[in-house]
Amino acid sequence: MTRAYTMPKKIKQTENWETLAKFVGVDYHKRSSLVSIGDAEANCLLQNRIPNDEAAIRELFQRLPAGTPCAIESCRGYEWLIDLLTDIGIKVHVANARGVKLIAQTRCKTDKVDSRVLMELLAKGFLPTCYQPTAAERSLRERLRWRAQLVRTCTKFKNMVHALLDKENKGFESPFSVKGRKRLSEVELLADRAELVGEHLNVIDFFDNVLGNESAWIRSLTAELPEASLLKTVPGVGDIVSLMFIAEVGDVSRFRNASAVSAFLGLVPSVYSSGEKHRTGRITKMGCRLLRWLLIQSAWQAIKKSDGLRARFNKISRRTGKRKAIVAIARKLAEICYRVLKDRTVFDEKKWALG
């Protein structure tokens, strides 16, 4: 029988809370955090808003026993707090924000309620948690996501140049290649527009230079990491995809099977089942959107390099169309990458039933 979560009773402040404290919930904000401390029965002993200052946080949490469980909802910019509490000796559990919302919806949403709910969910074993990446994984994620943002911004400026050329019907393909740049320098535009195109090209050159440095760093890091070398044996998987998979998925041993990785990345279809009704919908699109997009792009390359994956793609596309088929190949690539890392072995198509 499934247990149901119920909202807490009225809070009681207790003077000797330090001796009774067993669980902590933290509602984190940019400048301050609301802390709820509870006993073994999840009764709230103390609620206190503290500034996000290392000294203030240490003063409060060092009064708790070492290893006290603490729940913090996953949010933006909270990593430093996790590191600090871990250093103090607090056992931090990162709550899945979406899961908490589904379990403990309430009409009254305040910081006090949020922090108390986190504490109680942790105490009663209801807290839906999410993976805590290592410091190295966090650093790699940030660097790769930054590179992706550089690419998007550079592409935006290139599209602006195309738009400026089209305004005088002088646009052409590949104006940013070596030959394209030479041709672009010979295009006659209105003086103001020509000046604006030149400014755009200066910005594009800057981004291209930074991206060139990032590409060199990626090649160097990929050569150093044995996990990346293993992933690159998978058809369609290159330097960026291999590093992104390592950064976003993290420790593959935390997944019970390959299908769990596909679900983590949002590559599985949503399911509705009630009574005799059963239907599937679009993919859930959970997890990292960038990695999901990269896997789909890699899937197009994979069907060109792998006979088995190409046969699988053709079989599915005849039934559902190419768009759904390529997503299925991306899902298969994610599962293959999981097995390659878990088994610590290179990809061998002969051992896989891909067709």
Q: What does the DSSP assignment read for 103-144? A: HS--S---HHHHHHHHHHHHHTT-PPB-----HHHHHHHHHH
Q: How far is CA 85 from CA 42, 52, 219, 269, in A?
A: 21, 12, 35, 38
* Cα angle for residues 54, 94, 143 (degrees, 5° grid): 80
Distances (CA, A) of 159 to 171, 174, 218: 11, 11, 26
First-to-last C-alpha distance (Å) of the chain: 41
Residue type, 229: S
Report the half-sphere exposure of 114 (CA within 13 A, side-chain side).
16
Exposed, middle or buried: residue 77 (CB in 10 Å: 0-12, 13-18, 19+)? exposed
CA separation, residue 86 to residues 12, 30, 80, 254, 328 (Å): 28, 19, 10, 21, 40
Kindly tell me the burial class for residue 24, based on how many C-beta atoms sit within 10 Å of its own C-beta (0-12, 13-18, 19 or more). buried
pLDDT for the residue 273: 67
**Backbone torsion region of residue 351, taken as left when φ is above 0, otherwise alpha when ψ lies between -120 and 50, otherwise beta:** alpha
Under-50 pLDDT residues of the chain: 1-10
* pLDDT given for residue 280 in this prediction: 77
pLDDT at 269 (0 to 100): 87
pTM value?
Answer: 0.85
